[in-house]
Chain A
Amino acid sequence: MKILVLIGNVPDTTTKIKFNADKTMFDATGVQWIINPWDELALTRAMELKETAGSGVETITVANVGRQETEATLRKALAIGADKAIRVDADAKDAFYVASQLALVSQGYDLIFAGVEASDYNGAAVGGMLAELLGIQSVSAVSGLQIDGSLVKITREIEGGSQALSVAAPVMAIVQKGIAKEPRIPAMRGIMMARSKPLEVVQPAETEIRMSFEAFDLPPAKAACKKYTEEQAKELIHALREEAKVL
């Protein structure tokens, strides 16, 4: 079985979000870039599967759409243990653009992992769009995954509970928290090996842009917190009814 893990390059989750002067673009000054948290969990699960005897995983490839500066993120994925990386050399524009570029390099895999969303623009769309472009099944909100021959056994979250199901490969698994316990941290040996692993650069295909962001705003500042003492706890509850009208 060949696995592909889609990798998003996103600002560290502790980044203070700010925009340029005319508020049309994210201000990336001084930002630390990381593997999108759910993609990192997906890669971790792919590694666990490869290490499981009898799972039949031959290779793990990682792919992203981004300029050269995103290669550090791909190298980290290689250091975690992926065998090969592919970068489509283009700015990641809207989800349809990204999915269309990834479709160029996603043929021939049995299992593709995508994160449930990217932590920057929260589009939650690339995995589903790519599955549709490839004409394969997709299962979302995946919190557990096993390989059983040519079948993929999945646990997913549904409204009000969870569900165990099976689906024949090829399949797109769109994963969320729970798919792996903790993201794997690259070991020194992995980092050394990553330097010599293949990183293929692919030219993008022309694709229409279907949406974009005209501008951004920060949420309106909140009014100051109304403070009560421990002794006034009951008064606070009363304020929730009388003043805030939420009880």
Chain B
Amino acid sequence: MSVLIYIDNQDGKIKKAGFEAASYGVALAKEADVAAVAVSLGNVDESELAKLGNYGITKVLSCTDARFATLDNSAIAKALAVAANQSNANIVVLAHNNLGKAVAPRLAVKLNAGLVSNVTGLPISLQPFKVNKNVFTGKAIGHALIYTEKKVLTLSYNSFGVIEQAASAVIESFDPGLNASDFGLTVEQTQKVTGKILLSEAEIVVAGGRGMKGPENWTGIEQLAEELGAGTACSRPVSDEGWRPHGEHVGQTGKIIAPNLYFAFGISGAIQHLGGVSGSKVIVAVNKDPDAPIFEAADYGIVGDAIKVLPQFIEAVKELKA
């Protein structure tokens, strides 16, 4: 028996979500007293895969087939099912990112496994198998039971954290035996955001709402984000108005984020917005309205004008860094 962990890559590099999944899988395997095995699909070189050893992984199955670069959900699920069967895995762990949450349901069907997505920690019990997950977009926690022998879990970002523990990872070549007919997508163009901190990976996020009054006032938000190495985000009205791109919308129907620190400038904190950011470890709110619901969710707050407070924050951060 084993715990199999799918480590996805971006252009051959493993990101934090992958190391977090590895950390979680290693801890889970230890609890279940079974082996932890990582699997990587696509062109990732051995020195990159060896980094998984820093998170306690001792064995990596690697299939360097370049065709996986199209992120074909069906083909990836098929390959993972082969890896799960080969390594006699009873639990498969994936990151709850765009790819992980797309592949996990297909894989669960292939393995006749019960699926719990967006889990927020290690199982509460292994027999019966019980694990917590976010429901109602972070407004509640569900205690999920899985009845099947095999289980598939996707891990909520930044909920477990990365745990470093030195081990030496042995990399084994893995052939899932896929044919050309298993791949069905033709990628025509890929656009990568460059020079910006990705919202999904940002440790700190600086966001603005309607209280910022207009797109011309975003300079302060961008400056503070730059000083902090943070990502920028906005509330729904702001993206609907076209002040900021849709990709920056955080909230129930936009992106769900869970950074260590979240700044909300001029955001009132509608229930849909809070759903998207309530996983943040610390929330700082600046809003003119003392009764704004954002203060219910915030850890630190200033009742005041966001546009006036921003330059002071920027200066204070510069001083801290100096």
CB of B271 within 8 A of CB of A140, answer no
CB of A19 within 8 A of CB of B140, answer yes
CB of A96 within 8 A of CB of B130, answer no
Q: Which of A138-162 contact B (CB under 8 A)?
A: 138-141, 143, 156-162
Distance in Å from the Cβ of A31 to the closest Cβ of chain B?
A: 12
Interface string of A208-243 (1 = CB under 8 A from B): 111111111111001101111110111011111100
Q: Which of B113, B140, B184, B252 contacts A137 (CB 8 A)?
A: B184
CB of B191 within 8 A of CB of A174, answer no
CB of A158 within 8 A of CB of B261, answer no
CB of A157 within 8 A of CB of B143, answer no
Report the separation of the CA atoms of residues A131 and B74 in the bound assembly, to the nearest whole angstrom: 9
Report the separation of the CA atoms of residues A156 and B247 in the bound assembly, to the nearest whole angstrom: 12
Q: Does residue B123 face the partner (Cβ distance < 8 Å to A)?
A: no
Contact residues in B for A212 (Cβ distance below 8 Å):
144-145, 147
Report the separation of the CA atoms of residues A230 and B154 in the bound assembly, to the nearest whole angstrom: 42
Q: Does residue A163 face the partner (Cβ distance < 8 Å to B)?
A: yes
Contact residues in B for A233 (Cβ distance below 8 Å):
302, 309, 312-313, 316
Distance in Å from the Cβ of B103 to the closest Cβ of chain A?
A: 7
Q: Does residue A20 face the partner (Cβ distance < 8 Å to B)?
A: no
With A38-B253, A124-B118, A210-B146: A236-B302 Cβ-Cβ less than 8 Å: yes
CB of A167 within 8 A of CB of B15, answer no
> By CB atoms of chain A within 10 A, which of B70, B73, B133 has the most?
B73
Distance in Å from the Cβ of B196 to the closest Cβ of chain A?
A: 10
Report the separation of the CA atoms of residues A119 and B116 in the bound assembly, to the nearest whole angstrom: 15
- Of all chain A residues, the one with the shortest Cβ separation from B154 is A124
CB of A132 within 8 A of CB of B110, answer yes
CB of B296 within 8 A of CB of A225, answer yes
Q: Does residue A81 face the partner (Cβ distance < 8 Å to B)?
A: no
CB of B113 within 8 A of CB of A237, answer no
Distance in Å from the Cβ of A35 to the closest Cβ of chain B?
A: 12
Interface string of A170-199 (1 = CB under 8 A from B): 000010011000000000000000000000
Interface string of A107-126 (1 = CB under 8 A from B): 00000000011011111111
Contact residues in B for A123 (Cβ distance below 8 Å):
115, 117
Distance in Å from the Cβ of B95 to the closest Cβ of chain A?
A: 9
Contact residues in B for A227 (Cβ distance below 8 Å):
295, 301-303
Contact residues in B for A215 (Cβ distance below 8 Å):
142-143
Contact residues in A for B308 (Cβ distance below 8 Å):
230
CB of A119 within 8 A of CB of B187, answer no
CB of B316 within 8 A of CB of A237, answer yes
- Of all chain A residues, the one with the shortest Cβ separation from B113 is A210
Q: Which of A131, A177, A229, A234 contacts B246 (CB 8 A)?
A: A177
- Of all chain A residues, the one with the shortest Cβ separation from B196 is A160
Q: Does residue A52 face the partner (Cβ distance < 8 Å to B)?
A: no
Report the separation of the CA atoms of residues A38 and B143 in the bound assembly, to the nearest whole angstrom: 25
- Of all chain B residues, the one with the shortest Cβ separation from A128 is B105
Contact residues in B for A53 (Cβ distance below 8 Å):
none
CB of B136 within 8 A of CB of A120, answer yes
- Of all chain A residues, the one with the shortest Cβ separation from B98 is A141
Q: Does residue A79 face the partner (Cβ distance < 8 Å to B)?
A: no
Contact residues in A for B192 (Cβ distance below 8 Å):
160-161
Distance in Å from the Cβ of B163 to the closest Cβ of chain A?
A: 18
Q: Which of A96, A143, A223, A246 contacts B281 (CB 8 A)?
A: A246
Contact residues in A for B301 (Cβ distance below 8 Å):
225-228
With A132-B109, A166-B186, A167-B184: A211-B98 Cβ-Cβ less than 8 Å: no
CB of B143 within 8 A of CB of A213, answer yes
> By CB atoms of chain B within 10 A, which of A14, A129, A225, A228 has the most?
A225
Q: Which of A129, A223, A238 contacts B108 (CB 8 A)?
A: A129
Q: Does residue B164 face the partner (Cβ distance < 8 Å to A)?
A: no
Contact residues in A for B210 (Cβ distance below 8 Å):
none
16 interchain pairs, CB-CB under 8 A = A14-B270, A14-B271, A17-B136, A122-B137, A124-B117, A160-B198, A213-B135, A216-B142, A216-B143, A219-B138, A223-B299, A225-B301, A226-B299, A230-B304, A247-B228, A247-B317
Binding site for A on B (CB under 8 A): 8, 10, 15, 17, 70-74, 77, 96-99, 101-106, 108-110, 113-118, 130, 133-148, 154, 184-193, 198, 200, 204, 228, 246-247, 249, 252-254, 260-261, 270-272, 275, 278, 281-282, 284-285, 295-305, 308-309, 312-313, 315-317, 319-320
